[in-house]
Chain A
Amino acid sequence: EVQLVESGGGLVQPGRSLRLSCAASGFTFDDFAMHWVRQAPGKGLEWVSGINWNSRKIAYADSVKGRVTISRDNAKNSLYLQMNSLRPEDTAFYYCAKSPCSTGCDSFHHWGQGTLVTVSS
């Protein structure tokens, strides 16, 4: 069974940093592209960033570009999101999501339960 478990969320002041992690299990991690998708409380879904199986193809939403870095460690079956210079508008549930293939088919086949990031002073 595919499992994606996010961690690292919490309350952080504006301008500070946070690192989210996603522990994956139940599938061959390095066979699939992975993504972060966020959802502000009561709002819709917003794709944040994606990374292909070998980390050679990475993309970011304009809203986070330059402030966020996605990475993965295939040996540890883990996905990460380093978030810097956080803003109140970054407040959201952050979901780790698995694509159904290694590259080029970036739908979200499986989702974690999400971790809440709250940016507030």
Chain B
Amino acid sequence: DIVMTQSPDSLAVSLGERATINCKSSQSVLYSSNNKNYLAWYQQKPGQPPKMLISWASAREFGVPDRFSGSGSGTDFTLTISSLQAEDVAVYYCQQYYSSPLTFGQGTKVEIK
């Protein structure tokens, strides 16, 4: 199984500042035949289901604000919130869909400092 490890477990960032969440996979999720990273990011606010933010490591979903961006390749990935807004308080998860079983990181809780 591919183990996904996020860091940090939580972080507090001032409004308007940058938040950076890291995700590391225990093996590469880059599929060589199509050069795509099978990595997604989700946001989950309290009492709500998760919402997909980014697929293929860096492709922002329709309607997701452009302050959210994804980067990385192979085994190391980053979700960046360029200017934190109050509505971004949530838990963020990475997920690999390179192989079964599909696996998630443990989550990173983002709060306002």
A45-B104, A47-B101, A100-B55 known; A111 vs B95 contact (CB < 8 Å): no
Taking chain A's interface residues, is the majority helix, strand, or loop, or is none over half, making it mixed? loop
Q: Does any Cβ of A come within 8 Å of B52's Cβ? A: yes
A44-B93, A106-B97 known; A111 vs B50 contact (CB < 8 Å): yes
Q: Does any Cβ of A come within 8 Å of B103's Cβ? A: yes
Residues of B within 8 Å of A35, CB to CB, are 102
Query: Total interface residues on B, using CB and 8 Å?
Result: 21
The total of Cβ contacts below 8 Å across the A-B interface reads 56
Q: Does any Cβ of B come within 8 Å of A75's Cβ? A: no
Determine the distance from Cα of A61 to Cα of B102 in the docked complex, in whole angstroms. Answer: 8
Determine the distance from Cα of A100 to Cα of B59 in the docked complex, in whole angstroms. Answer: 13
Q: Does any Cβ of B come within 8 Å of A89's Cβ? A: no
Range, interface on chain A: 20 to 34
Across the interface, do B106 and A44 meet the contact criterion of CB distance under 8 Å? yes
Determine the distance from Cα of A50 to Cα of B100 in the docked complex, in whole angstroms. Answer: 10
Residues of A within 8 Å of B50, CB to CB, are 45, 95, 108, 111
Among A59, A61, A107, which residue has its beta carbon within 8 angstroms of that of B52? A107
Determine the distance from Cα of A95 to Cα of B61 in the docked complex, in whole angstroms. Answer: 20
Could you tell me which A residues sit within 8 Å of B by CB distance? 35, 44-47, 50, 59-62, 95, 100, 105-114
Could you tell me which B residues sit within 8 Å of A by CB distance? 38, 40, 42, 44, 49-52, 55, 61, 93, 95, 97, 100-107
Enumerate the 10 nearest inter-chain pairs by beta-carbon distance, A residue then B residue, closest first: A111-B49, A107-B40, A47-B102, A106-B97, A59-B100, A45-B104, A44-B107, A107-B55, A107-B97, A61-B101
